[in-house]
């Protein structure tokens, strides 16, 4: 989402002042860095769906003296939604991961035996956007127009919500009026290049496309986003300082969540 909410300047200065050991990109969907901890300590593992700010989050944690007491480094992976498997949850493969509640519960109904919510990410408003005129959900307006969707049938933003809106409006698109893309970046590029006439997104994300102009129509004012889940063994009182350090690190995602609130009530007791 957008950049309406700036990161605290103090955080940027704090991170810049900490020397880090050599960083590495193991492949185009993961990132690793080292802490000042002993190399014999385990790696702190993170899974997320979005690449935005992933390296910033890892760098923050690698610079943490608190994290270095228990971990030798940080590995963050960004993978499609379908990557998370029941076995990942049962094996507690990741120390923290981000996903939607219904996805996690669908994979492992008793997931609370393994993970708890660390931080809830806020709901967001979803819109149709077009570069030509204000979108309308009627046959006359949509005649000859092409709508872009995600191939990920579990995506609220780019599949489930827009499909539900079309169904509710009684719109049946022809096959040649629907184009599907493997990831949001490809979808946004197609929209910007006018390969498709309409897509669904948040207004703040539309602003980031740097279009000369665009028009919008509200789909849903309150779309549930998801949450960061933390391994149960890290969610106890004696690990609260580490938990709070992770939550502070999550503030690097503030621009992605703008203009929504940064912290849920669950994080209010962190100093």
Give Cα 106 distance to the centre of its chain: 19
At 90 the pLDDT is: 98
Angle of the 54-62 helix axis to the 9-16 helix axis, nearest 10: 60
- Between CA 157 and CA 127 the distance in angstroms is 9
CATH architecture of 9-123+225-267: 3-Layer(aba) Sandwich (3.40)
Distance CA 21, CA 230 (A): 26
**Mind listing the pLDDT tens digit of every residue in the chain (271 residues)?**
332 222 222 222 222 333 334 334 444 689 999 999 999 999 999 999 888 899 999 999 999 999 999 999 999 999 887 899 999 999 999 999 999 898 999 999 999 999 999 998 888 899 999 999 999 999 999 999 999 999 988 888 999 999 999 999 999 999 999 999 988 889 999 999 999 999 999 998 899 899 999 999 999 999 888 899 999 988 766 678 999 999 999 999 887 666 454 444 345 477 6
- How many CA atoms lie within 13 Å of 42's alpha carbon, on the beta-carbon side? 7
Secondary structure (3-state) at 227 = strand
Q: How far apart are CA 263 and CA 248, in angstroms?
A: 10
Secondary structure letter of residue 26 according to DSSP:
E
Provide the pLDDT for residue 82. 82
**All CATH 3.40.190.10 domain ranges in the chain, comma separated:** 9-123+225-267, 124-223
CATH of 124-223, one of 1.25.40.420, 3.40.50.720, 3.30.70.260, 3.40.190.10: 3.40.190.10
Which residues sit opposite 200 in a β-bridge? 128
C-alpha closest to that of 78 among 95, 54, 112, 57: 54
Residue 11 to residue 154: CA distance in whole angstroms: 34
Q: What's the pTM?
A: 0.69
- CA–chain centroid gap for 113, Å, is 24
d(CA 80, CA 209): 22
Question: What is the per-residue pLDDT for 257?
Answer: 67
Asked if 271 contacts 90 with a C-beta cutoff of 8 angstroms, the reply is: no
């Amino acid at each position: 989402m957008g950049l309406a909410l700036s990161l605290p300047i103090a955080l940027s200065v704090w991170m810049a002042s900490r020397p880090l050991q050599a960083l590495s990109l193991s492949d185009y969907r993961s990132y690793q860095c080292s802490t000042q901890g002993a190399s014999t300590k385990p790696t702190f593992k993170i899974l997320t769906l979005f690449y935005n700010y992933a390296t910033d989050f890892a760098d923050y944690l690698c610079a943490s003296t608190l994290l270095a007491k228990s971990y030798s480094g940080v590995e963050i992976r960004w993978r499609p939604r379908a990557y998370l498997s029941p076995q990942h949850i049962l094996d507690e493969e990741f120390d923290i991961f981000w996903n939607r509640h219904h996805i996690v519960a669908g994979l492992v109904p008793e997931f609370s035996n393994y993970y708890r919510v660390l931080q809830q990410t806020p709901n967001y408003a979803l819109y149709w956007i077009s570069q030509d005129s204000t979108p309308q959900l009627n046959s006359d307006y949509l005649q000859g127009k092409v709508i872009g969707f995600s191939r990920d049938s579990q995506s609220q933003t780019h599949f489930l919500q827009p499909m539900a809106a079309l169904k509710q409006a009684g719109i049946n698109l022809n096959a040649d009026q629907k184009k599907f893309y493997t990831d949001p970046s490809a979808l946004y590029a197609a929209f910007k290049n006018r390969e498709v006439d309409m897509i669904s997104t948040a207004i703040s994300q539309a602003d980031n496309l740097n279009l000369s102009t665009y028009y919008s129509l509200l789909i849903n004012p309150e779309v549930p986003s998801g949450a960061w889940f933390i391994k149960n063994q890290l969610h106890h009182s004696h690990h609260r300082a580490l938990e709070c350090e992770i939550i502070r690190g999550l503030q690097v995602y503030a621009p992605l969540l703008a203009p929504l609130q940064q912290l849920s009530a669950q994080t209010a007791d962190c100093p």
